[in-house]
Structure 1
Amino acid sequence: MKIIVSPDYQHQKEWIQQVPHLFAAGGGELLYKGRNQVRLFMVGGEKLVVKRYKRNDVIKSLIYTFFRKSKARRSYDNAVALRLRGFQTPREVACIEQTRMGFVTQVFYICAYTEKQPVRPRLIEQEPFDKPLAIAYARYVASLHEAGVLHCDLNPTNVLVDSDSHFELIDINRMKFYDGPVPKAECMENLTLFYWLTPAYRFILDEYARQRGWTSDDIAEAIRVKERHDKRWILRKKITHFGRYEVLH
């Protein structure tokens, strides 16, 4: 088992070593259960969140052992990189890689707990959407892209905010960092991940464009990129559902 512990959390090292066992025993408070599982632990007066990623199959074990960093290690490294660029994410605590016969099989990422909440309820579920937050969100994403930060899963559940419009990013294992601003084409694709082509999306796009100095032609192109993205997504879901129907029948 390989463990990397933040210098700020060396005092929790003994507990961190027990995390795989604690998780297997169902310890802590379950926050999310799906492909991955997230649990909250109170450790010496500190709230720590542990994300256990889905166990690797043979191919992924091979990839994450020899060719790519594990998702937990990428989350840890990306948290450090984000903070160096002036952006917030729950403080990284540790990453754990369990191995079997030298191959990475199960990984865990540990970070500090945050009280911030996803932007989704206020920007998507609420009617009408929260325009001041939408403006702040657009400016925040523009600042990420301007600083060369690309969150490859920039959906509204992975951007957290507090009442003062201070943002944090979570689920950060898939990110890209550029030496300069993110290329415009990648920015347009990244913006498509927010939600459907709703009034809130258009409002956010307009404010983002103002911040980046985009032209009306740029905005029109971003809309076309969004429309193509949504059509592909719908088609992919239809194919997936059809395949499931065929298997079940």
Structure 2
Amino acid sequence: MPFNIYTLPEYSADRQLLLRLADDFDKEGTLLVKGSRNTIKTNFFKGEKVNIKYFKKPGLLKGIIYGIFRPSKAKRSFEYAKYLLSHNILTPKPVAYIEDKAALMLKDSYYICSHIEYDFTFRELIHNPLFPDRQNILEQFTAFTYRMHEARVNFLDHSPGNTLIVNKGNGEYDFYLIDLNRMKFQDMGIEVRMANFRKLWPSRTMVKIIAAKYAELSGQPYEKLHSMLLGSTLDFKRRITKKKYFKRKLKKK
């Protein structure tokens, strides 16, 4: 395949090995995620486990847009990961991204990064109010998000499954962002910062914990942050619930 590959400098001599991972993607590796848009497999690169994310081939129009005008999702994932790590925000280490273009149109693309053995995701904190050490984890997660905001990162997919959490022991946790291709890099006012938590679907109790910790870190009044965060969260939940309701109604027709 006519692949173009871009790597971190330390992997420049390993391009053929990395290209082989993409070339053999369909028949090798262990399936990790099979989604409607993307597929993720694990495989081994120089003895280390890596994730290879295949982005669904875009249609004609999007293929031209990604081929000429906009960076591909694979490239964005790679570049955004580098930005995050340069600002001490954890994410699986980027290794390479690979693109197959024909006549300036993007066809297939892949993003390769290190594999993280994690203990749980943010989703478990939502579904289990009695999750061990829940308040401490939420406070550390809020501090992690605050650092992200201070680094001008507006993570548009800040949702329950997109933070991997590693229990380091002694009440300490590491947080790794994944699914990186939708981000904005901008100075954010406090309303935008609070709205950035809404896709996490926090409960009212979680909202209180997050608002209190963010107030402590930012110097903003707790009551102000709590009101913003609760309002944004409830509004988001209403919109999603309404959308699901209308989808069910349409399916019955």
TM-score normalised over the length of structure 2: 0.89
CA distance in 1, matches of 2:77, 2:216: 31
Please state how far the C-alpha of 1:217 moved relative to its aligned partner.
2.5
Is residue 29 from structure 1 mapped to residue 36 from structure 2 by the alignment? no
User: Which residue of 129, 139, 156 maps to 1:152?
Assistant: 156
**One-letter identity of the residue aligned with 1:132:** N
CA distance in 1, matches of 2:53, 2:26: 12
CA distance in 2, matches of 1:12, 1:73: 18
Tell me what 2:197 maps to: 191
Is residue 161 from structure 1 mapped to residue 183 from structure 2 by the alignment? no
Gaps spanning 5+ residues in structure 1: where? none
Decide which moves more: 94-103 or 78-87: 94-103
CA distance in 1, matches of 2:251, 2:97: 35
**One-letter identity of the residue aligned with 2:83:** A
Within 5 A, what are the aligned runs for 1:1-249?
1-25=3-27, 27-35=28-36, 36-120=38-122, 122-129=124-131, 130-164=134-168, 165-178=173-186, 180=187, 182-215=188-221, 216-246=223-253
Can you list the C-alpha shifts for 1:219-239, whole angstroms capped at 9, x where unaligned? 212211221111111112222
CA distance in 2, matches of 1:218, 1:21: 49
Q: Any conservation in 1 of the 2:7–2:15 contact (CA below 8 Å)?
A: yes
Change (3 A) 1:245 1:100: farther
**One-letter identity of the residue aligned with 1:33:** K
CA RMSD, 1 decimal: 1.8
Q: Any conservation in 2 of the 1:197–1:227 contact (CA below 8 Å)?
A: no
Matched residue count? 243
Secondary structure of the residue aligned to 2:117 is coil
CA distance in 2, matches of 1:41, 1:61: 27
Please state how far the C-alpha of 1:78 moved relative to its aligned partner.
0.2
Gaps spanning 5+ residues in structure 2: where? none
Can you list the C-alpha shifts for 1:126-146, whole angstroms capped at 9, x where unaligned? 331411111111111112112
Decide which moves more: 208-217 or 138-147: 208-217
**One-letter identity of the residue aligned with 2:247:** T
Q: Any conservation in 2 of the 1:5–1:13 contact (CA below 8 Å)?
A: yes
Secondary structure of the residue aligned to 2:82 is helix
CA distance in 1, matches of 2:69, 2:249: 34
Q: Any conservation in 2 of the 1:53–1:107 contact (CA below 8 Å)?
A: yes
